[in-house]
Amino acid sequence: MLNIGLLGLGTVGTGIVQILEERKKYLEKLIKQEISISKILVKDIDKKRDIEIDKEKLTTDIYEIIEDDNIDIIIEVLGGLDNPYYYIKEALNKGKDVITANKAVVAKHLEELTNLAKAKNKSFLYEASVGGGIPIIKPLKEQVNINQIQEIRGILNGTSNYILTKMISENLDFQEALETSQRLGYAEANPTDDIEGYDTRRKLRILSTIAFKDKIDEEDISCYGINSINFSDIKNIKSMSCTVKLLGTAIVNDNKYYASVEPVIVSQNSYFSKVDDANNLVSFIGDNVGELRFFGEGAGRFPTANAVLSDLIDITSNTYQRNCFLENSELDNINELYRGKYYMRINVKEDTKDKIEKYIVDNEIIEDMIEKKDSIAFTTKLISKKKLEKLIDIFMIDSKNYFVARLEV
């Protein structure tokens, strides 16, 4: 008998229960033992739920699960940071395998929890923490054994991608697209993590650490979101026959790496331009395998639950990678040295407009002027982004009054 302790019965937890019920006979035949969800941690036992559940299995006491020697595997789908981290750590210390969908915990404590699982000879798997239902972490762990991974790129946040898709396809301004996203359940009431790029940064931190076999902290990843994009930017981008996506990018070469989360303007021929709505796409390049791409739904009840249960099968069939991925310790971050071409729009006051135009010409920033009305919009030469940051500082431009996106056209 495989006994599971489930922490959380929200959207993903409910999906796990439903899939296990529907696929129970097949899964039990596959892993050659019965499967039982023994206990489920909830906040409110009497809450009305979408599924019928035996209330005897519900508990508000985490120790009823962690201290139960009959429970073999803990599945954590609570969300949040501090409590889930403590529960996962305690479960590993108690000799239980752990599966989590919690990107915040994995991003902050990846190395510690991986090492603890190794020390306890237990599993710590987290496929659902990146890309929802897209299988990306397991293939990446397999490929690092026979490849030097050179690059990771991805649309890793469905909410921001949905917002940008609606702005481009329906000519909406940012607030309209955000409100539509919230109404449909893609964006939270507080969408900060999505629209400012923090969610993408966590996921890129996880992927790049595995890929480059070195600890890439969130602080090592430059991060700029989409919250200041407006309708005039969309008009300008479409005039270039392009679209815009929030991309996470990590590139390594000669023991140096660049890692960023930022809006990127891509041509209509780019495969990223074809990824619409709340879908995700992740690609990585290995020196032997070349480029591999993974596309699918980046969130949602069943895609995320599917990834969790894939980890469950890997544990029960012993088909997951046990390699310790932290082998390097010599990679240098070169974000400040990275050079690219950029699109920039600045809302300007009449008394500073001429000064800003003169500055971008005198400092060899501008390549082409796109707009010179209520705002100025231009594309740059190949420059360090620090040049644009210096421009912002000198003229004390508020973050709400400018938008920057890297050009890949």
Catalytic sites, residue numbers: 203
Q: Which residues pair with 40 in a beta bridge?
A: 6, 58
Token pair 């890949």 in the structure block, residue: 408
Burial of 373 (0-12, 13-18, 19+ CB in 10 A): exposed
How many beta carbons lie within 10 A of that of residue 171, not counting itself? 13
Q: Would you call 337 helix, strand, or coil by DSSP?
A: helix
Query: Which residues, in sequence order, are bridge partners of residue 59?
Result: 41
- CA-to-CA distance for 212 and 260, rounded, in angstroms? 15
The C-alpha atoms of residue 298 and residue 306 are separated, in whole angstroms, by 12
Helix pair 82-93, 103-119: axis angle to 10 deg: 20
> Residue 32: what residue type?
K
Six token digits for residue 219? 């602080």
